[in-house]
């Protein structure tokens, strides 16, 4: 019984020590108030022009991290609806954009063009006038490129290839120039249809590691942000967030080239979006191409083409692979 007695005495000592430490630590707590500097709001310009499409620009104001927001606050205090927005092409045309409903905008409205549409190897200057300040930026739409091939690929030997696949692309890089690539996807199936283009990972990449060679890689679908899904059912949202593809899917694959300034913004902005919520990483600046005081965002040009890949509900085998439809526009 002696060992048990010692154990009881030791346990009592440990309990007493823990209670004493807890009392000491709790008595050391002190409430403090931080005198945070007043937040200075900045102009945010998010604009783009794509090959064959008119320009689209969303204007807003940055807000404090601690701001209490709702839809009414966003509409009346964040999004800007009374600015003057102009686009001028290097060929000489100028157009004032109109603030209106826009299906392709994440927030359903934007400053949209009508007459000037993106052309290859053409530069476009954006001018925004608001509250007696002027902001400018320039972007260039380079030439387009064609994919060598595009196909549904088996995920792994452990996953049923009859019900789940990924997409792989093959392309040949032009060795005579620096190229900056991006891919995005839209999926249409019986349960849902993407309204917005969904970026793949990485969001953008250059050709430094494969300059002038032919290569293929997997397109990893990046989950759609829930902030744009508030009008959808849970079933639609769950389907939209999936990263792989199923029988019955029609997949639109957009492949784009951009200039260096657009690439730099997409890379730094993408890194901040992914790493910005991690408390163990250092903050990184998002590099903008917009000239002006206290401004964030970018004006981007894209030379894009779209391919369509269809996985029918009824799968047929052709030389050991799935039959599929591949079209381009």
Concatenating the DSSP letter of every residue in 79-134 gives B--S-EEEEEETTS-EEE-EEEE-TTSTTSEEEEEEEEEB-TTEEEEEEEEETTEE
Strands (E), 120-264: 122-130, 133-141, 149-154, 165-172, 180-188, 198-201, 205-206, 214-221, 250-258
Burial 297-315 (b: 16+ CB within 10 A, else e): bbbbbbbbbebbbebeeee
The verdict on 319 and 214 lying in the same domain is: yes
pLDDT of residue 110: 96
Alpha-carbon span 21 to 56, nearest angstrom: 61
> Looking at the domain assignment, is residue 55 inside a domain?
yes
- 3-state SS, one letter per residue, for 124-143: EEEEEEECCEEEEEEEEECC
Q: Which residue has the tokens 């309990």?
A: 15
Alpha-carbon span 204 to 182, nearest angstrom: 5
> Looking at the domain assignment, is residue 318 inside a domain?
yes
Interval 263-285: pLDDT, tens: 999 998 877 666 655 666 666 78
> Looking at the domain assignment, is residue 84 inside a domain?
yes
CB 224 within 8 A of CB 272: no
Left if phi > 0, otherwise alpha if psi is -120 to 50, otherwise beta: which for 46?
beta
The verdict on 237 and 314 lying in the same domain is: yes
Alpha-carbon span 110 to 296, nearest angstrom: 17
Q: Quote the number of domains for the chain.
A: 2
pLDDT of residue 327: 43
Alpha-carbon span 185 to 107, nearest angstrom: 19
> Looking at the domain assignment, is residue 50 inside a domain?
yes
Alpha-carbon span 51 to 302, nearest angstrom: 6
pLDDT of residue 276: 57
The verdict on 170 and 132 lying in the same domain is: no
pLDDT of residue 163: 79
Query: 255 pairs with which residues across the strands?
Result: 183, 305
Q: Is the peptide bond before 61 cis (omega within 30 degrees of 0)?
A: no
> Looking at the domain assignment, is residue 58 inside a domain?
yes
φ, ψ at 286 (rounded to 5°): -90, 120
Q: Give the residue from 141, 161, 191 where a domain finishes.
A: 141
pLDDT of residue 122: 98
Domain of residue 108 covers 43-141
Q: Give the residue from 123, 141, 159 where a domain finishes.
A: 141
The verdict on 185 and 307 lying in the same domain is: yes
Alpha-carbon span 61 to 42, nearest angstrom: 6
> Looking at the domain assignment, is residue 289 inside a domain?
no
> Percent helix, strand, coil in the chain (nearest 5)?
20, 40, 40
Q: Give the residue from 107, 122, 141 where a domain finishes.
A: 141
φ, ψ at 187 (rounded to 5°): -120, 135
> Looking at the domain assignment, is residue 106 inside a domain?
yes
Low-confidence ranges of the chain (pLDDT < 70): 1-30, 34, 36, 157-161, 222-242, 272-283, 314-329
The verdict on 322 and 243 lying in the same domain is: yes
Interval 219-246: pLDDT, tens: 877 654 444 444 556 665 566 566 788 8
The verdict on 133 and 168 lying in the same domain is: no
pLDDT of residue 167: 92
The verdict on 85 and 199 lying in the same domain is: no
> What CATH number does residue 118 fall under?
2.60.40
pLDDT of residue 302: 98
φ, ψ at 171 (rounded to 5°): -145, 160
pLDDT of residue 284: 73
For residue 325, the SS3 value is strand
φ, ψ at 209 (rounded to 5°): -90, -10
């Amino acid at each position: 019984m002696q060992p048990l007695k010692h154990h009881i005495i030791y346990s009592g000592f440990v309990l007493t020590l823990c209670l004493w430490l807890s009392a000491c630590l709790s008595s050391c707590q002190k409430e403090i108030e931080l005198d945070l500097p007043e937040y200075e709001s900045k102009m945010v310009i998010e604009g783009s022009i794509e090959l064959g499409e008119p320009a689209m620009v969303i204007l807003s104001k940055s807000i404090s991290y601690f701001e209490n927001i709702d839809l009414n606050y966003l509409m009346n205090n964040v999004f800007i609806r009374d600015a003057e927005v102009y686009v001028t092409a290097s060929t000489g045309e100028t157009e004032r954009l109109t603030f209106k409903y826009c299906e392709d905008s994440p927030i359903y409205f934007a400053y949209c063009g009508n007459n000037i549409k993106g052309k290859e190897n053409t530069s476009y200057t954006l001018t925004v006038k608001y509250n007696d300040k002027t902001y400018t930026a320039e972007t260039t739409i380079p030439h387009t490129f064609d994919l060598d091939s595009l196909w549904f690929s088996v995920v792994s030997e452990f996953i049923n290839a009859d019900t789940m696949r990924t997409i792989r692309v093959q392309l040949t890089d032009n060795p005579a120039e620096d190229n900056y690539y991006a891919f995005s996807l839209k999926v249409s199936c019986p349960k849902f249809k993407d309204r917005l283009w969904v970026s793949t990972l990485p969001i953008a990449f250059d050709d430094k590691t494969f300059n002038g060679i032919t290569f293929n890689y997997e397109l990893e679908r990046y989950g759609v942000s829930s902030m744009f899904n508030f009008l959808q059912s849970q079933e639609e949202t769950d389907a939209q967030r999936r990263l792989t593809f199923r029988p019955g899917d029609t997949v639109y694959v957009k492949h784009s080239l951009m200039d260096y300034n657009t690439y730099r913004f997409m890379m730094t902005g993408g890194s901040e979006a992914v790493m910005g919520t991690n408390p163990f990483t250092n903050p990184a600046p998002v590099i903008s191409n917009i000239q002006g005081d206290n401004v964030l965002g970018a004006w981007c040009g894209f030379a894009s083409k779209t391919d369509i890949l269809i996985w029918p509900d009824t799968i047929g085998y052709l030389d050991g692979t799935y039959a599929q439809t591949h079209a381009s526009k």
